[in-house]
Each structure stands twice: as C-alpha cells, then as structure tokens.
C-alpha cells in the first residue's frame, strides 16, 4: 500500500474514534488501544495488547500528577508518553492522536525529528519491539485540566535504532 493511502486510513480511523460517543469508563483500555493499533497497522507492526500491570503503574503516576497536572515523566522502567489538556473534555483518542500527529516530523531515512520538533511520542507508539500498553487518565484538581499517561513494554526510543 502506498504511504498516502495508509495515512488516509489512519486519519479516518482516528477521526472515527474521536467522533464516537463517550464510552463507559470500563472501555478506557479500548479507547487507548484502538488508535495506537491503527498507527501500528499502518506500518504493518503487530498490535499492542492491554497490560493491567502497566495500567496500574500509569494510574499511580497519574494520581500523583492530579495535584498539579505537571507534564512530568515518572522515570520508570517503561516507555512513556504523557499528555495534558486544559479543561476536562479530553478523551484518550485525542491524546493518542496528538502523539501520532508527530509522524509528520519524523524522517525515517535520517532517523531524526525535524529541527525544533518532537517526534518521540510517535516513535514510541510504533516501536517495533513494544508489545504491551497500559494507560491512565485523571482530571486534575482545581480545574487544572486533564492528564493522561501511557506506558509501553518493552520500551522503545533507543538512540541509534529505528522504530520500525
């Protein structure tokens, strides 16, 4: 398949996920997994599976960030993407879409991000060796917004290695 077709497929799938009505809290895993796996499928990477251990780890860190909503990494043993949005109307697909949108800044042949841009969230999502995902979302106290975190195992983004 050509790259344009795969990109259109990704945009369609993520747009569908964003337009979907809010799901019960019990399907939070699916709300995170679906857009991750659409991005991976576009590169013919195997889908991630939900891992409750990673989700618990993510929830513990999200609960700590609930007080200040600071975009601060846990510095744990896993790969990690974090997201903050003002207000409380954010859903998991929107966070993942933000990370995946960094694809435009990633140059595979040079294995670098465009100057002054970030693309590590995207490369972690599509990292070839990653198999498991666990995420959490919290509404921060005092109207400070929404904090989301996803943890990946095995982690990715090793210097000098391509994600796929």
What the chain holds in terms of domains, given with CATH numbers, is 28-153 (3.40.33.10)
- Residue 22 pLDDT exceeds 60: no
CB 39 within 8 A of CB 29: no
3-class DSSP assignment, residue 82: strand
Q: What tens digit of pLDDT does each residue of 68-87 get? A: 999 999 999 999 999 999 98
CA 42 to chain centroid, in Å, comes to: 15
Give the Cα separation of 135 and 83 in Å (integer).
Answer: 11
Q: Residue 6's pLDDT is what? A: 36
Of the two residues 16 and 97, the one the predictor is more confident about is: 97
User: Per mean pLDDT, which range of 12-16, 105-109, 115-119 is the poorest?
Assistant: 12-16
- Please list, in sequence order, all residues whose beta carbon lies within 8 angstroms of the beta carbon of residue 38, skipping any fewer than 6 positions away: 9, 10, 13, 14, 17
23 DSSP 8-state letter:
P
Of the two residues 8 and 69, the one the predictor is more confident about is: 69
Q: What tens digit of pLDDT does each residue of 26-71 get? A: 489 999 999 999 999 999 999 999 999 999 999 999 999 999 999 9
- Residue 12 pLDDT exceeds 60: no
Q: Residue 27's pLDDT is what? A: 86
Q: Residue 9's pLDDT is what? A: 37
Mean pLDDT estimate for the chain:
88
Reported confidence tier of residue 88, pLDDT bands at 50, 70, 90: confident
Q: Residue 155's pLDDT is what? A: 98
The percent of residues in the chain predicted with pLDDT above 70, rounded, is 84
Give the Cα separation of 31 and 16 in Å (integer).
Answer: 11
């Amino acid at each position: 398949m050509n790259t344009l077709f795969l990109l259109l497929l990704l945009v369609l799938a993520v747009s569908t996920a964003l337009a979907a009505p809010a799901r019960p809290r019990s399907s939070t895993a699916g709300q995170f997994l679906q857009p991750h796996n659409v991005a991976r499928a576009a590169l013919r990477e195997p889908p991630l599976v939900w891992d409750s251990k990673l989700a618990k780890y993510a929830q513990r860190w999200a609960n700590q960030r609930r007080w200040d909503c600071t975009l601060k990494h846990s510095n744990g043993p896993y790969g990690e993407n974090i997201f903050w949005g003002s207000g409380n109307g954010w859903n998991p697909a929107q966070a993942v879409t933000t990370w995946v949108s960094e694809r435009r800044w990633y140059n595979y042949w040079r294995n670098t991000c465009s100057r002054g841009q970030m693309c590590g969230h995207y490369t972690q999502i599509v990292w070839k060796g990653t198999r498991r995902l666990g995420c959490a979302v919290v509404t921060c106290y005092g109207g400070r917004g929404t904090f989301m975190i996803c943890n990946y195992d095995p982690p990715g983004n090793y210097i000098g290695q391509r994600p796929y």
